[in-house]
Amino acid sequence: MPPDAVPVTAGPLWGDLHPGTLSTAIVGRRIRVYDLVESTNTLALDHGRHGDVYVADRQSAGRGRLGRTWHSAPGKGLWLSVAFETPMEGLVFAAALAVRDAVPSDIAPSLKWPNDVLANGKKLSGILIEQQGDRVALGIGINVNHESEDFPVDLRQKATSLRLETRRVWPRREVFQSLLIGLDERVILLQQGGFEALHAEWAAACAVAGREIQCGPTRGVVQRIDTDGALQVDTGHERVRITAGDVVYLD
Ligand code: BT5
């Protein structure tokens, strides 16, 4: 699906959304706004140039990690992907911190390893990084103006939105612009070799070190987060490295 073949809705929903309105160096140099796509990550992987942003009102096949589905309520959230033409270690740190910082200050979001942003223990945002050759798609989903009934029944207890947390409707454009600006700053840091600083900030925000967890068959105490984001877990018998999965806190 070539980007130019899809109708673009740069209308009232998104306002005056063009690169000139953003003072970013890399992220958002080109912004493509769509009404309906399968997944913005697919567009970024198939067509993206370094820093291109793809954002859609609706995704017919939004995806999460490990083949899971990302529910993308039409018009309610921010469903976007940023393309990079070279892999960047630490991108997940940059993204999670940028999402945390783009969220209104009356929400106190927490980061959950490896890629969730939570508010009051419920999932507000998810991040999906995919790679095809050297091209990387950084997919970010943020639930913005959902009411409870905008989520499928099975998600209502574990998902939340900015609106549910603050009882206010949020202009998606504002959150979007803050996100791109914050992400740009952190991507520049990564590219300049500041990855270690981001790692420390992210690991502190995740606060998983020292906690007893279960992740798949592995149960133990997290010793540290490696610089690639993997968890080092002491099971009592051995040290195990966990690179993916869902963590359940046992303590
Ligand atoms: C993620 O996966 O959290 C990554 C989500 C990335 C979504 C963005 S949207 C733009 C871009 N285009 C895409 O196609 N994807 C990216 P994971 O950690 O595997 O979590 C998936 C799980 O979160 C699901 O199995 C549900 O339990 C839950 N979930 C699905 N939709 C949700 C939503 N809108 N809000 C909160 N939780 C949700």
Q: Rounded to an integer, what distance in angstroms lies between the CA atom of residue 152 and that of residue 209?
A: 33
What's CA 113's distance to the chain center, in Å? Answer: 12
- pLDDT surpasses 90 at 250: yes
Q: Is residue 76 within 8 Å of 57, Cβ to Cβ?
A: no
Identify the band that residue 18 occupies on the pLDDT scale cut at 50, 70 and 90: low
Mean pLDDT of all residues belonging to the chain: 89
Q: Is the distance from the beta carbon of residue 155 to the nearest atom of ligand 1 less than 6 Å? A: yes
Which pair of structure tokens corresponds to residue 239? 């040290």
Q: Is the distance from the beta carbon of residue 240 to the nearest atom of ligand 1 less than 6 Å? A: no
Q: What is the mean pLDDT of the segment spanning 134-160?
A: 97
Q: Which of 77-86, 125-134, 169-178, 191-200 has the lowest mean pLDDT?
A: 191-200
- Hey, which residues does 123 pair with through a beta bridge? 118, 159
Q: Is the distance from the beta carbon of residue 42 to the nearest atom of ligand 1 less than 6 Å? A: no
13 vs 230, higher pLDDT: 230
Going from the C-alpha of 55 to that of each of 77, 80, 236, the distances in angstroms are 10, 4, 45
Residue 231 CA to ligand 1 center (angstroms) comes to: 21
Cβ partners under 8 Å of residue 105, min gap 6 = none
- pLDDT surpasses 80 at 11: no
Nearest CA to ligand 1 atom 15: 63
- pLDDT surpasses 80 at 16: no
Which pair of structure tokens corresponds to residue 102? 């783009």
Q: Is the distance from the beta carbon of residue 48 to the nearest atom of ligand 1 less than 6 Å? A: no
Rounded to two decimals, what is the model's pTM?
0.92
Residue 140 CA to ligand 1 center (angstroms) comes to: 9
Per-residue pLDDT, 21: 64
SS3 61: coil
Q: Rounded to an integer, what distance in angstroms lies between the CA atom of residue 229 and that of residue 83?
A: 20
- pLDDT surpasses 70 at 4: no
Pocket perturbation via mutation, ligand 1, pick of 70, 116, 176 by most ligand atoms within 8 A of CB: 70
- pLDDT surpasses 70 at 15: no
Q: Rounded to an integer, what distance in angstroms lies between the CA atom of residue 249 and that of residue 39?
A: 31
Percent of the chain, pLDDT > 90? 70
Please report the atom of ligand 1 found closest to the CA of residue 159: 36
- pLDDT surpasses 70 at 106: yes
Q: How many residues does the chain have?
A: 251
Neighbouring C-beta atoms of residue 237, cutoff 10 Å:
7
- pLDDT surpasses 80 at 3: no
Per-residue pLDDT, 193: 79
Which pair of structure tokens corresponds to residue 200? 């420390």
Which pair of structure tokens corresponds to residue 187? 């991507």
Going from the C-alpha of 137 to that of each of 46, 48, 66, 87, 181, the distances in angstroms are 9, 8, 15, 9, 18
Residue 71 CA to ligand 1 center (angstroms) comes to: 6
Q: Is the distance from the beta carbon of residue 65 to the nearest atom of ligand 1 less than 6 Å? A: yes
- pLDDT surpasses 60 at 74: yes
Q: Is residue 45 within 8 Å of 132, Cβ to Cβ?
A: yes
- pLDDT surpasses 60 at 17: no
> Which DSSP helix (H) or strand (E) runs through 98?
helix 91-102
Cβ partners under 8 Å of residue 66, min gap 6 = 244
- Residue 216, judged by CB atoms within 10 A of its CB (0-12, 13-18, 19+), counts as exposed
Q: Is the distance from the beta carbon of residue 40 to the nearest atom of ligand 1 less than 6 Å? A: yes
Q: Is the distance from the beta carbon of residue 80 to the nearest atom of ligand 1 less than 6 Å? A: yes
Q: Which of 6-10, 32-36, 140-144 has the lowest mean pLDDT?
A: 6-10
Per-residue pLDDT, 14: 57
Q: Rounded to an integer, what distance in angstroms lies between the CA atom of residue 112 and that of residue 202?
A: 10
Residue 115 CA to ligand 1 center (angstroms) comes to: 10
Q: Which of 114-118, 141-145, 156-160 has the lowest mean pLDDT?
A: 114-118
Percent of the chain, pLDDT > 70? 91
